[in-house]
Amino acid sequence: MDPLTNLLTLEIYRGFLVLVRVAAAIGFLPGFGENAVPVRIRAALALIVALVLLPGVEGLPDRMPEEPAEMLRVFAGESLVGAWLGIGAKLFMAALQTTGALAAQAIGLSNPFSLDAAGFEGGSVLSGVLLIGGLALMFASDVHYLMIGALARSYGSWPVGEFPEIGPLVGRFAQLLATTFRLAVGLAAPFLLYGLVFNVALGLVNRVMPAMPVYFIGTPILLVAGLGLFLMTVGAMLTGFVAALGGWLSGS
């Protein structure tokens, strides 16, 4: 094999190394990896991002692996790192969906037959509204550029060709899972407090006036006041979600 062929083969291999990590991340990242985005569009985005990042990636190998098993191990490591970044960002979308589900349950608007949104099985109309609003605000506030930046910085934490250690990676994932769950509960805190106070008040009214049809009177009030609370807090919830996601991407 002549030197030019060797050089071209090595460059193609280096490009595939970057493409594997980027494609794994693009497949899970919010906005890019949604089911509504065609596979061809996702593949084209992954190729474009990989070509943009390729010149700045340091530590690319200067030789081809001698064994096919070694090449598969390297590709598996790159896929694992990319999937970690994509799923990590997706957990923030899951937190937003959980916030909507908790809020809907608190105000009596939970519905297991609602439509899916952003890759999550509905659960409530409020979840769908929050997910769609979160995606729109994410792109409007340029958080998608932070995703590309996080991919570029990942080569400093996980160099090319080195299989990541599973133990620390699982620990970071568990910590992120706890963080996103706290975020979901924190964003839904006004609705949890509202539901608790309202139901306690209904219980007291029922004890004072047992003949009053508390359910038929309280349910419309609970729903209307809950929707009003949602309209007042939806902006703050979406802003908090975007800030948390941007902060994680900036520090990942």
Choose among 111, 174, 131: nearest CA to 30: 131
Encode burial over 103-116: b for 16+ CB neighbours within 10 A, e otherwise.
bbbbbebbeeebee
pTM: 0.85
Using alpha carbons, select from 250, 59, 248, 95 the residue that is nearest to residue 172.
248
Q: Is the pLDDT of residue 128 over 80?
A: yes
Rg (CA), the chain: 24
pLDDT tens digits for 20-66? 999 999 989 888 888 888 889 999 999 999 999 888 888 787 777 77
Question: What end-to-end distance do the CA atoms of the chain give, in Å?
Answer: 42
